[in-house]
Amino acid sequence: MKRSLPFLGFRFLALLSSMLVPCVVLTLMGYLLWRGLPVMGKELLFGRTPPLDAVFGRAPVWDGLWPACVGTFWLVVLTMALALFPGVGCGVYLAEFATPRQKRVLGSAVDMLAGMPSIVMGLFGFMLILLMRRTVLPDANTCLLLAAACLALLVLPVLAASAREAMEAVPASLRLAAAASGFSRSQALFYLLLPAVARGILGGAVLAVGRAAEDTAVILFTGVVANAGLPSGLFGKFEALSFDIYYISSQYQDQAELLRGFGAAALLLMVSCLLLATARGLERSFRRRWRGKA
Amino acid sequence: MAGKGVTLMEKQDSRFVLCARGLSVSFFDHAVLRDVSLNVPAGGIAVLVGRSGSGKTTFLRSVNRLNEEVSGCRTEGSVELRLPGGKVDVWPGVGPDAVPLAELRRRVGMVFQTPQVFPVTVCRNISVPLSVTMGCPRSELDDRVKDALVRVDLWREVADRLDMSAERLSGGQQQRLCLARALALEPDMLLLDEPTASLDVRSARHVEDLLLALSEQLPVIMVSHGLAQSLRLASFMAVMEEGRLRCEISNPDGMEEGDLERLLDGAEDVRGEEAN
């Protein structure tokens, strides 16, 4: 078959584009690891504090990233605890039960939320606290819970959209076969459809975790500080890796401090990879148990 | 095959297992079935034949009210079943003989044209419907899964692969698994929508033999495109055309493919006895 020049050109450009993404990812990760790995070590995490004392909170860590790691961990866990059920539930409702009118209205609301800049979400949290201080809670202050709640709003559309897409991709024949076996719609949803789309929902959850771990604009207004130490509770201030990276990169005074910033970035990258691997592992073990060996 | 199910009929004091009266089904005002009245005699396999789009599948899905799962469906008329468990008012589904939808669908098992295995393990394909729709105790599940697989002659092939994804089975095995799933729910009747259409000749014959054996135990209504297959299996045939019942053939023995072909092509009467 004779191939025309435009077709070959398009094919070449498509190939180039497909290679661009892995190249960018490898360059970014390679550069981060190249600069960050040499400083990676006990001192980067715990400074001059004995590691065990730091881990159990017996001594404060002033010049290490451990408090920021713990802060990021709790921030992500709280965010997902707040956002996972409403996000997935919204997506499932939109795909399975919503009337066309509800789909239009709710779908637009989800799209609008998805398009909202994170700095606006942070400002919203800050204004909320100001309002509460003037009205019902005079002692309210920015804190870990507020930051997680605002981040939950930020990642809600990601979860809703991924759950909706995954549910809508389920073939109608599976629903029909379930109904023919006597399953009610809720039973089919719980026992067959959700397990079938677990991978799609998990994909959204992984994106949401990544977003929650890396976002700085939201937490900037809602409770993160540079030297808070380990988070004292839901209503305490906290440190976060993403904020540390931002803070160091804008305030560093010498080369050693800059390298510490690269170390923090490499650490955040590793934490994200660890979360991703854990999620994939969980999904794989669930799939083998429920759906059988592929 | 004509004599099969006589005992059942004596118990039921009725010659028919299904009675449809003035059944019309439309989707978004597009009529698919128009005023169909059909009595399906008990015993053997009743086969619905007709060209594509003649309304066979829609009629079959009226029996377990599966059409209602498709949006825009509107049903008129009445459908009544006389099953071993008693009379069931399928549609309109009101009155003393009506049963809940989930129970109706459990009692009227269905197998589709393409094998619709659930995306779970071979074992769970049978055990999940059993525990969810019948509330079968966990301690009985293994035995009932095995029984169902033995009934469709699949146990030997999958006994050591029960934890494997059902989607990895061959097409014929998947269809027999679907049949096992339907049988595990202890149905009073089986509906089959071209169950061999997506299978190779050997697998199709295997399924056909199973269906003939099953038809001695419970009523079977089947849609088929294959004229030879219809003649091999049917003890009663209903020919459909453009959403209407064209004719019934109460004893297709002795008919040939050519006769059926001519009937489908619009011949008024091929044997001088079947016109509806």
Query: Considering only CB atoms, which residues of chain B are within 8 Å of chain A?
Result: 64, 66, 69, 102-103, 105-106, 109-110, 112, 114, 116, 118-122, 124, 128-129, 132-134, 163-166, 168, 178, 181-182, 185
pLDDT at res. B11: 47
CB A39 within 8 A of CB A262: yes
Cβ of B168 and A292 within 8 Å? yes
Residue of B nearest to A186 (CA): B132
pLDDT for A234 equals 87
pLDDT digits (tens, 9 = 90+) for A147-168: 999 999 999 999 999 999 999 9
Residue A146 lies inside a defined structural domain of this protein: yes
Q: Give B188-197 pLDDT, tens digit per residue.
A: 999 999 988 8
Structure tokens at B44: 């053997």
Instruction: State the smallest CA–CA distance between residue B184 and chain A in angstroms.
Output: 10
User: Is position A22 within any domain?
Assistant: no
Interchain proximity B185–A178, CB inside 8 Å:
no
Residues of the domain holding A77 = 40-290
Residue in B116, B120, B182 nearest the CB of A173: B116
Residue with the larger pLDDT of the pair A86 and B198: A86
**Band of residue B6 on the pLDDT scale cut at 50, 70, 90:** very low
- Cβ separation of B121 and A182 shorter than 8 Å? no
- Cα B71–chain centre separation: 22
Q: How far is A294 from chain B (nearest CA, A)?
A: 6
Q: Give domain status of residue A226, yes or no.
A: yes
- Residue A242 domain-assigned? yes
Position A3 confidence tier, pLDDT thresholds 50, 70, 90:
low
Q: How confident is the model at residue B13 (pLDDT cuts 50, 70, 90)?
A: very low
Instruction: Please report whether residue A60 resides in a domain.
Output: yes
Helix (H, G, I), strand (E, B) or coil at B1: coil
Only one residue has tokens 């729709």, namely B133
> Quick one: average pLDDT of A111-140?
91
Contact A181 B129 (CB under 8 A): yes
Number of domains observed in the structure of chain A: 1
Residue B185 or A41, more confident: B185
Residue A10 forms part of a structural domain: no
Q: Which residue has the tokens 């510490």?
A: A260
How high is the mean pLDDT of chain A?
89
pLDDT (0 to 100) of residue A175? 93
Identify the CA nearest to A243 among candidates A259, A228, A232.
A228
Structure tokens at B165: 């994804």
Q: With CA atoms as reference, report the closest residue to B230 among B190, B197, B268.
A: B197
Strands B45-50 and B234-241, sheet pairing: parallel
**pLDDT at residue B158, rounded to an integer:** 93
**Quick check: B116 and A196 CB within 8 A?**
no
What does pTM read for this prediction?
A: 0.80
* Domain assignment present for A13: no
Q: Show the domains of chain B with their CATH numbers.
A: 4-102+109-115+189-264 (3.40.50.300)
Indicate yes or no: CB of A177 within 8 angstroms of CB of B164. Answer: no
The CATH number given to whatever domain includes residue A47 is 1.10.3720.10
Report how far apart, in Å, the C-alpha atoms of B33 and of each of A185, B27, B62, B242 are: 26, 10, 10, 8
Rounded to a whole number of angstroms, the distance from the CA of B198 to the nearest CA of chain A is 15
What pLDDT sits at residue A229? 80
For residue A198, the model assigns a pLDDT of 87
At residue A2, the pLDDT reads 60
Read off the pLDDT of residues B89-114 as tens digits, 9 standing for 90 and up: 888 878 777 888 998 999 999 999 88
Closest CA to B188 of B57, B81, B91: B81
